[in-house]
Structure 1
Amino acid sequence: MKRSTTTLAALLLGASTALSFVPQGARAADTGPLRFVLVPKVVHPWFDKVNDGARAAADSLSQLTGRKITVEYAAPQTADVSAQNDIIERSIATHPAGILLDPLDGKGNRAAMEESLQQGVGLTIFDSPAPEGLDVTAVGADFCEQGTLAADRLAGLIGHKGAVAIMMGVPTAPNHAERAACEKKAFAKYPDIKVVATGIDNDSIETAQKQAAAIMQSHPDLAGWVACDAAGPVGIGQAIRENGRVGKVAEVGLDNLNDMIELIRDGVAESSASSRPEMQGYWAVIAAWQKAVGQKTPKFIDTGIDILTKASLQAGAAR
């Protein structure tokens, strides 16, 4: 399936069309400001891109409806479930129009998510499957497809044989866990590929770099890497470069951090499967706003996946 790169500029270009479904009465019935709180997993460049998309949607809605709509960004400093729950609970107490949440742990965040709904604060999930049994909209990619695309691409790069490793991200995070499971399932299709190691980086580039270096030292015959989060492949790429393994250890990354894009341009990583963070933030705000003005929202909004390669990046730069 052919994928094309989606930029924030493209989102903004289509804003007037995308927002043409303003519910009848939403422009005139209520004129007070609406504030949404965006709670990511952790302070991280990937979530900065989500926030960019969220603010773009808020600005477009403000212009379209004449009502001030804002997004407050509240990120835990580390990928810690308790810290994230504390932010959710403090946000609920300020009575926002809605909370946009990327849960660190479906079970660990459950009570805080239920409290949000019980207190009448709308909840929209992004970058994660919808929690079972909760009436919320989830915005994101097909995470299994994303992991499978990365694993199958790596398998082709190494001739469908050899030792591979997976960087797991935050294992309790529903999207990271789903990618990891589907990557393992994809590799299992190839009898001559063996997953010899898994790292856990907890969405930290520095941790990923250290874990990747240690794994490559323990497995000098390692043929390639995939990851389950955005930080992991950056750290992996740094370890490949620092250990003189460029051209010897293949990498297919995840998502579109600037550092990931540079690794592709430099030939350290062959490609990356990106889940379009700007679009996730954009449509999470649209869904949260619809809910706030009393409209029904879809169960899931699929923002799609881009395959980024050196060729596609060059083509995008030339446009």
Structure 2
Amino acid sequence: MKKKLIVPLALIVFTMAFTSFTVWFLMKQDKPKIMIVAQRLDIEYWKIFKSGAEKALQDFNIDGKVIAPESIYPISNQPNMLKKVLTQHPDALIVAPVDEEVTIPVLMEYKKKNIPVLLVSRDIEWEYKTAFIGPDHYALGEMSGKLLGSMLQPGDQVAIIFGVVDDQAMIDRTNGAKKVLENIGIEVVAERSGYDHLANPTPVMGSILQSYPNIKGVIATSDRLALEALGALEKEGVKIPVIGTDGIIKMIEIVGEERVEATIAQNPYDMGYLSVVQAQKAIEGDSTEKIVDSGIDILTGDNAQDKLNFLKKLLR
């Protein structure tokens, strides 16, 4: 008579746990790894971007993380962060470059290792980039100019408040707006940088008002600049249109409150999501689009609430 083989319960439990761990480990090893380096994560625009990127990572079962330097200006540690990320051997890199001159040498190290590099938000002249995902900043400026121009008359005076002086995105937005305004006979009497050395808004609207008391409108190349300008104008009892360019919650609320008639909004959530989609394509060897436009919207009292509800739910 054959004896029955009795397997200890502890051995069965151990075997099952070991098998589960092995399956989990192999599945994790099979996941592509995408590292995403933003410009910063301490302001709403980039928090929205982060939400979009993380949703795509989750939807496509991708191992990845969104990180950013602790400081952005005057000296960003983004190049050092990129060097550290490289040691983690990602399958693709998504980066919002801060400084073209110091960033490109580090990105060349990714090129040497055949790691696809995708740029977001700000494009730079680098022939080896896999793709750029973001808005057309010149077109954004043009749309800002058209929107403000639709509220004014030829001969009116306006101001443009822009961000960091050497940021190409800010330069493109300013130039696009100026072209449209000048073509319809509206005079740009003031162009001022409204950021300090840490890329935070500083008061400039007050001095513009003193120099040009008859000013009829303002375009700001970021919503934080627009909000600072609007606050200064309201303090002086001056009600003129102020056009922002981001579409953050506070600016949308102001549109809903009819403190401004309309503003321009980007789609940083879509930018984050689409960048991961394109990175996955690059990893899998599929063709990627060289430029992916993440879109620009005009927000008015008619559609502001829908955008506001989406963002509040997103950042809750």
User: How far has the Cα of 1:251 moved from its partner?
Assistant: 1.0
SS in 2 for 1:88: helix
Alignment of 1:98-113 (within 5 A): 98-113=92-107
Structure 1 unmatched ranges of 5 or more:
1-27, 63-67
Note if contact 2:32-2:91 (Cα within 8 Å) is conserved in structure 1: no
- Which whole-Å deviations, capped at 9, do the CAs of 1:91-123 have from their partners, x for residues lacking one? 223322332222223344322332332344331
2:22 corresponds to which residue? none
Change (3 A) 1:158 1:229: same
Q: 1:215 aligns with which of 208, 212, 223?
A: 208
Alpha-carbon distance between aligned partners in 1 of 2:309 and 2:249, rounded to the nearest angstrom: 17
Note if contact 1:273-1:308 (Cα within 8 Å) is conserved in structure 2: yes
Sequence identity percentage: 21
The one-letter code sitting in structure 2 at the alignment partner of 1:93 is T
* TM-score between the two structures when normalised by the length of structure 2: 0.80
Change (3 A) 1:29 1:91: closer
Alignment of 1:173-252 (within 5 A): 173-191=167-185, 193-202=186-195, 207-245=200-238, 247=239, 249-252=240-243
SS in 1 for 2:225: helix
Change (3 A) 1:318 1:80: closer
SS in 2 for 1:208: coil
Q: 2:298 aligns with which of 307, 310, 319?
A: 307
Change (3 A) 1:127 1:317: closer
Note if contact 1:255-1:274 (Cα within 8 Å) is conserved in structure 2: yes
Alignment of 1:275-294 (within 5 A): 275-294=266-285
SS in 1 for 2:303: helix
The one-letter code sitting in structure 1 at the alignment partner of 2:48 is K
The one-letter code sitting in structure 2 at the alignment partner of 1:185 is K
Alpha-carbon distance between aligned partners in 2 of 1:299 and 1:90, rounded to the nearest angstrom: 26
The one-letter code sitting in structure 1 at the alignment partner of 2:93 is I
User: How far has the Cα of 1:29 moved from its partner?
Assistant: 12
**Greater Rg over alpha carbons, structure:** 2
Alpha-carbon distance between aligned partners in 2 of 1:238 and 1:205, rounded to the nearest angstrom: 21
2:46 corresponds to which residue? 47
Alignment: residue pair count: 285
Change (3 A) 1:272 1:145: same
The one-letter code sitting in structure 2 at the alignment partner of 1:262 is E
2:128 corresponds to which residue? 134
RMSD of aligned residue pairs (Cα, Å): 2.9
Alpha-carbon distance between aligned partners in 2 of 1:316 and 1:254, rounded to the nearest angstrom: 14
Question: Does residue 115 in structure 1 map to residue 109 in structure 2?
Answer: yes
Change (3 A) 1:79 1:295: farther
1:58 corresponds to which residue? 57
SS in 2 for 1:157: coil
User: How far has the Cα of 1:203 moved from its partner?
Assistant: 8.4
SS in 1 for 2:187: strand
Structure 2 unmatched ranges of 5 or more:
1-26, 311-316
* TM-score between the two structures when normalised by the length of structure 1: 0.79
Moved more, 90-99 or 162-171: 90-99
Change (3 A) 1:292 1:29: farther
The one-letter code sitting in structure 2 at the alignment partner of 1:72 is V
The one-letter code sitting in structure 2 at the alignment partner of 1:232 is L
Change (3 A) 1:39 1:203: farther
